[in-house]
Amino acid sequence: MLRSTYNWSLGDRIAQSNQQFIQGDYCDIRTKREACPLTCFVSKNGASGEPWKDAKFDQDGRLKNPRRSAGDIQVTALPELKKARPWFGEIDSTVLQQNVKRLDTAYKNFFSARRCANEGRGFPKFKNRSNFTSFTYQMGAKVQGNKVYLPKLGWMRFFNSRVIPEGFTIKAATIRKRQDGWYASIRIEDKTIPDYVQKPLNEVNSILGCDLGITKLVHLSDRHQIDNPKFSTNKKARRTLKIRQRRVSRKVKGSKNRKKAATKLGRFHKKITNKRVAYQWDIANLIVSRKVDAIALEDLNVSGSAIR
């Protein structure tokens, strides 16, 4: 259902953008109304409503409320969506709102990538089952021992891998589907903890420099080198990946056996990812434990995306 709302919102924005910049004013045969591209690319006769709704003016006649974005329009249209499709009432309202904001983030990344001439992030695409596997609760999540409460879903058991410290409150929870099950990432906050204050440059006496290596993972300025285990490219991992990828390719497309083989391959990739992330956290802990005033890092284009 979240995937359908995401695709519906994206389709609505694309349709209204075409009306504004490509087709111009025209009469919609289905609704028998005139499209008005002068208001917004999500027009007043589109699926998302009026951009100037609830606008207020001050005594001088100036607009007090700014013009609403397409995301704000689609968020305020969610109650109408629930009336038209009552089964969306089974989803928490904050989850639906975050789903629309997720599309806003995709648009923002696309236009920022165009301004920076970075081709790594393309135009938002319609989602299918395989690439839409997460959702976020903005409020209402609770944790008690080995049980977690998710609004509209209720209490359920889970493996509490990290106990929430005393004094912290749960701000949000993101549920993600992985190859070996479902995971909950919980964001917590304690306002009594003071913010970290950065040292001014004139008080920095010792600096530790970190350089990304080729054969080694990191070269430090104190001549210390950190090994790179190469979890995915060592002999044993490459052989296992080759066997499991071959098993997937030999199965009939769309069959249950192919899905089982793909699941085993995904679990092995997940295992490699877990090892790599755990090792990186250990190395980060090792670096920050050095008694220095500052740590200097290179600003590298590690992903290798094209930049003009």
Query: What's the angle, vertex CA 75, arms to CA 87 and CA 191, rounded to 5?
Result: 105
pLDDT at residue 307 in the model: 45
Residue by residue, DSSP assigns 42-99 as S-TTSSS--TTTT--B-TTS-BSSPPPPHHHHHHHTHHHHHHHSGGGGGS-HHHHHHH
Structure tokens at 177: 């589907």
Structure tokens at 272: 């490699």
Instruction: Compute mean pLDDT per 10 residues along the chain, 308 residues long, and list them.
Output: 90 77 56 49 45 60 66 84 87 91 88 66 86 89 92 92 88 90 91 82 88 88 89 92 95 93 93 93 91 85 56
pLDDT at residue 200 in the model: 85
- The domain ranges of the chain are 2-115, 133-189, 205-297
pLDDT at residue 166 in the model: 85
